[in-house]
Amino acid sequence: MKKIVLSCLIIVLVISSIVLPDGCRRKPKDKDRIVIGLAVPSLSHPFFIYLKKNITDEAEKLGVDIIAADAEDVAARQMSIVEDFIVRGVDGVLISPIGADSLVPAVKSLNAAGIPVATVDRKVNGGDVLVHVGADNVEGGRVAARYIIARLGPDAGVIQIEGTPGASPAIDRKKGFEEEIAKTGLKIVASQTADFNRAKGMSVMENLIQANRDFQAVYAANDEMALGAAEALQARGMSTAEIILIGYDAIPDALVYIKDGKLNATIEQFPGKQARQALRILVEYIRDSKIPPASEIYIKPLAIDADNLDQAERKLE
Amino acid sequence: MDLIPKFMRNSVLLIVRSYGIFVGFAVVVIVVSILEQSFFTLDNLLNIVRQSSIHGVMAVGMTFVILTAGIDLSVGSVLALTGIFCASFEHAGWPVYLVLLTTLSIGAAIGLFNGLVITWGRVTPFVVTLGTMSIARGFAHIYTGARPISEFGKHFQYIGGGYFLRVPIPSLVFLAVVFIAAFVLRYTRLGRYTYAIGSNERAARLAGVNVGAFKITAYVICGLTAALGAVILTSRLNAAETTAGAGYELNVIASVVIGGTSLMGGRGSVWGTLVGALLIGTINNAMNLLLISSYWQLVVRGSIIVAAVLLDRLRQE
């Protein structure tokens, strides 16, 4: 009895792990079409899913094929994905590196194989990259600071909720924000990390409310943390009229919160536009050897609030 | 060594051995209270209990598993998957009690799967639950396409955000779960056999205990509490995310171990787990209040885990 159940279980597990993913696998269409390998840090994070969707839409328009693989946020895995791309002989690679330094060897081996590479959103610190299209996170931090400065008195207190320690967007968003705040009389009364995570954003906000520091504004380095903080502030009866709360990334949930008056603003970096542009430049180079106008292209971040919600790239659902 | 008289050394050792965790907890509370006056206030203490309630509830289930000398690494992923189910049931307009019942059943079912494979398949719990960890996370991503589900009804939000006589509901749930578990472990056959299996599985088997059934029950309880954690988290955050609970297993297992339950099984209590979970919550809260740098927070958390294990070692000698 036990053995039968056990073997059934094993058979089901094995069959399902072979059959299920196969149904979802994309079949290669055409041999002569340009194939672009896409290596993003993770395909389980909404941001990168959105990035991938924009890239596949644009690829459809350009008439090229995309093959993508999930690196599950592990640099070594992303490295081997790129190596697999080389073995498969892709025509170009679009990459958003997990680590700026850890993916340098991958770019170098692409260079050695003569495969052009473009980076989007995040940069690589070495090797020859055709173009980098990204957002200036330092500038985004400054934009967030200016939004707060324009709405507060000269000596108000500000709380900063930082991203994952060591992550480059966390470092840059913090740098730009603090730079701009330092120019004014505003004071950062507390600066704590919540690892870009919603649940942690809520606990950190709750704890800082407990600390009773005098603050009139909260800047969270991404929307996830901002939404967690919003729930904590709401629960304390602190409205967005008293406390200015600003997030970062303009994710759909954040737009809903802005519409409902639970969040004041967020910073839009137009990731879809970035991704489309990077792919276009890469394909034009492969097809017509067209050299891009600049080796680094930055899209200007914009503060989105209730007045210009329609300018957000991802619309309200 | 001779600087400290022998009788004093012995009595210090004795206190550390039997009440180590409680003494440690008291020391932390006293020190932080002196350093930061907003810490020892009713509001903040309730806040800490509420913040500890999610990993705390899960740690109670984990205590059962660890008492049988097992381990369940899948709790964080089970939290994500059941949270997603919970959110979609709530969105489908199900009554709250049905949402709760179904979510908890799914958690229990995953625990049952773990238990069956471990006992019938005779595979080490570490490997089985490592597999489930990945499977559950995968299904969570598949089910929603990795998109978060947010915005729930008032009744459902009450579970995580409501108060009963000024006490946050999650804290009450946590304490209730601890009391029930303490009763079960102390006075029921299930509890006594759980200890018996952990201390000496062979002896328990020879004494006629149905070892398999009671082991499976431990994993079912662990799955159940993970689902309960999911309900609280989803309700508190007003959102369910597929990335929720990543790394929670660390906090959960740490709560149990810090609470003095031996990873070898057979020794420990949920009261220890209660204090362990509160200690982790307190440390996180205190580090926010004291504005400790995020880099040092990692060092502090890790040191406490190592210290707790060493304490356990000391107790065995």
Domains of chain A: 33-129 (3.40.50.2300), 137-269+305-311 (3.40.50.2300)
Q: State the residue for tokens 């050695």.
A: A112
More confident call, A216 vs B241:
A216
A194 to chain B, closest Cα gap in Å: 9
What's residue B1's pLDDT?
A: 45
Which of B236, B250, B292, B298 would best serve as a mutation to test chain A binding (most A beta carbons within 10 A)? B236
Question: What residues in chain B have per-residue pLDDT under 50?
Answer: 1
- At B68-107, the pLDDT tens digits run 999 999 999 999 999 999 999 998 889 999 999 999 999 9
- pLDDT class for A19, splitting at 50, 70, 90? low
Structure tokens at B228: 């309960």
Neighbouring CB atoms inside 10 A of A155's CB total 11
- Dist. CA A279–CA A36, nearest whole Å: 9
Q: What's the half-sphere exposure (Cβ side, CA atoms, 13 Å) at B295?
A: 3
Burial class (CB in 10 A: 0-12, 13-18, 19+), B187: exposed
What's residue B223's pLDDT?
A: 96
Chain B residues in contact with A256 by the CB 8 A cut-off are 150-151
Contact: A44, B242; criterion CB under 8 Å: yes
B288 touches chain A (CB under 8 A): yes
Full DSSP string of A35-52: EEEEEES-SSSHHHHHHH
Full DSSP string of chain A: -HHHHHHHHHHHHHHHHHHHHHHHPPPP--SSS-EEEEEES-SSSHHHHHHHHHHHHHHHHHT-EEEEEE-TT-HHHHHHHHHHHHHHT-SEEEE--SSTTTTHHHHHHHHHTT--EEEEES--SSS--SEEEEE-HHHHHHHHHHHHHHHS-TT-EEEEEE-STT-HHHHHHHHHHHHHHHTSS-EEEEEEE-TT-HHHHHHHHHHHHHTT---SEEEESSHHHHHHHHHHHHHTT--TTTSEEE-SS--HHHHHHHHTTS--EEEE--HHHHHHHHHHHHHHHHHH-PPPS-SEEEEPPEEEEGGGGGG-SSPP-
Q: Angle between the B211-237 and A198-210 helix axes, to the nearest 10 degrees?
A: 70
- Dist. CA A274–CA A120, nearest whole Å: 7
Structure tokens at A223: 């929307």
Segment (H or E) for B238: none
What's residue A27's pLDDT?
A: 47
- Dist. CA A251–CA A266, nearest whole Å: 9
Which of B237, B248, B283, B284 would best serve as a mutation to test chain A binding (most A beta carbons within 10 A)? B237
- Comparing alpha-carbon positions, the chain B residue that sits nearest to A163 is B294
Chain A residues in contact with B168 by the CB 8 A cut-off are none
Neighbouring CB atoms inside 10 A of A14's CB total 10
Chain B residues in contact with A206 by the CB 8 A cut-off are 47, 51
Chain A residues in contact with B121 by the CB 8 A cut-off are 6, 9
- Dist. CA B68–CA B124, nearest whole Å: 12
**B9 contacts: CB under 8 Å, gap ≥ 6:** B1
- Dist. CA A187–CA A157, nearest whole Å: 5
- Comparing alpha-carbon positions, the chain A residue that sits nearest to B161 is A235
- pLDDT class for A259, splitting at 50, 70, 90? very high
Structure tokens at B106: 């799914």
- Dist. CA A232–CA A253, nearest whole Å: 16
Neighbouring CB atoms inside 10 A of A20's CB total 11
Burial class (CB in 10 A: 0-12, 13-18, 19+), B136: buried
B255 to chain A, closest Cα gap in Å: 17
Q: For residue A118, report the phi and psi dihedrals to the nearest 5 degrees.
A: -125, 145
Mean pLDDT for the stretch of residues A73-101: 84
pTM of the predicted structure, to 2 decimals:
0.79
Structure tokens at B14: 């004795």
Query: Residue type for B114, please?
Result: N
CA dihedral for B44, B46, B48, B54, sign (positive or negative): negative
Chain B residues in contact with A211 by the CB 8 A cut-off are 36, 38, 288-289
Q: For residue A219, report the phi and psi dihedrals to the nearest 5 degrees.
A: -115, 120
Q: What's the half-sphere exposure (Cβ side, CA atoms, 13 Å) at B119?
A: 23
* Beta-strand pair B149-150/B239-240: antiparallel
- pLDDT class for A317, splitting at 50, 70, 90? low
For the domain made up of B38-316, give the CATH fold: ABC transporter involved in vitamin B12 uptake, BtuC (1.10.3470)
Full DSSP string of B285-305: HHHHHTT--HHHHHHHHHHHH
Mean pLDDT for the stretch of residues A109-131: 90
- Comparing alpha-carbon positions, the chain A residue that sits nearest to B44 is A210
- Comparing alpha-carbon positions, the chain A residue that sits nearest to B147 is A46
More confident call, B37 vs A149:
A149
For residues B14, B15, B19, B25, the Cα torsion angle rounded to the nearest 10 degrees is -150
- Dist. CA A134–CA B316, nearest whole Å: 56
Tell me the CA distances in angstroms from B33 to A204, B282, B289, one per residue in order. Answer: 18, 11, 11
A56 touches chain B (CB under 8 A): no
- Comparing alpha-carbon positions, the chain B residue that sits nearest to A162 is B294
Question: What are the sequence ranges of the domains in chain B?
Answer: 38-316
Structure tokens at B278: 């509160």
List A residues 201-260 in contact with B (Cβ-Cβ < 8 A): 202-204, 206-208, 210-212, 227-228, 231, 235, 253, 256
What's residue A177's pLDDT?
A: 96
B244 touches chain A (CB under 8 A): yes
Query: Residue type for B69, please?
Result: A
Segment (H or E) for B239: strand B239-240
What's residue A85's pLDDT?
A: 87
Three-state SS sequence of A213-236: CCCCEEEECCHHHHHHHHHHHHHC
- Chain centroid offset of residue B315 CA: 22
